[in-house]
Amino acid sequence: MGVKVKICGITTPLQAEQAQNFGADAIGVVLHESSMRHVKVQLAKDIISTVNPGVMSIVLVVNASSNYINRIIEYLNPNFIQFHGDESPEFCNQFNFPFIRAIRMQIGLNVISAIKNYDATGGFLFDSWDNKLYGGTGITFDWSRLPRQRDFPLTIAGGLTCDNVQQAITMVQPDMVDVSGGVETSPGIKDPHLLKLFIEKAKR
């Protein structure tokens, strides 16, 4: 099986269609209001409505309330919720809904301890640490910190571009790579040329 590609921070149905036409395996929308790639719930629904069978729809949330998560599950019914904030295992597990847990790689973080007790059927996404931003940092982290032996799906994110994605795949051997800013001309505006090139390089 080759590496899957997730295009995150999609802000229009057209972007979602373009990404899928170029071979994306997953489409991510961001519901975190502080993000430069934030979309409202109705637009998220319009974007998810374009997602083809066999392509995953993933909704990113940050420290949202349980009531909000339940409404998102009912209204959007994505393939996965991506918890990208400070959510505890108990919080994430309570919905009995498939999720991906994002782990932001703070200096000194023990990865094995950080993933413990999460029933993350979609696995874990490892992203760069920033004390203000929850994702979308545009910077990489030290990939050698990730476990080579693992029993969960691993997604790598954080500062991936057309120039470094092959190096990341060679070093980490992830199940999926996640890109947002690395294929944009400005926040939320995906560049079709970069989308195509990134997906080609990741799958080469």
CA distances from 113 to 116, 118, 137, 153 (A): 5, 10, 23, 16
Round to whole Å and give the CA distance between 88 and 112: 15
Task: Report long-range pairs for 29-34 (Cβ below 8 Å, ≥24 apart).
Answer: 29/57, 29/58, 29/59, 29/60, 30/60, 30/135, 30/136, 31/59, 31/60, 31/61, 31/64, 31/72, 32/60, 32/61, 32/62, 32/84, 32/85, 32/134, 32/135, 34/62, 34/134
Catalytic residue among 8, 25, 162, 178: 8
Is-catalytic flag, 127?
yes
Is-catalytic flag, 175?
no
CB 127 within 8 A of CB 104: yes
DSSP-derived 3-state class of residue 16: helix
CB 171 within 8 A of CB 144: yes
Catalytic residue among 25, 92, 127, 162: 127
Q: What is the DSSP letter of 67?
A: H
Round to whole Å and give the CA distance between 78 and 72: 8
Known catalytic residues? 8, 127
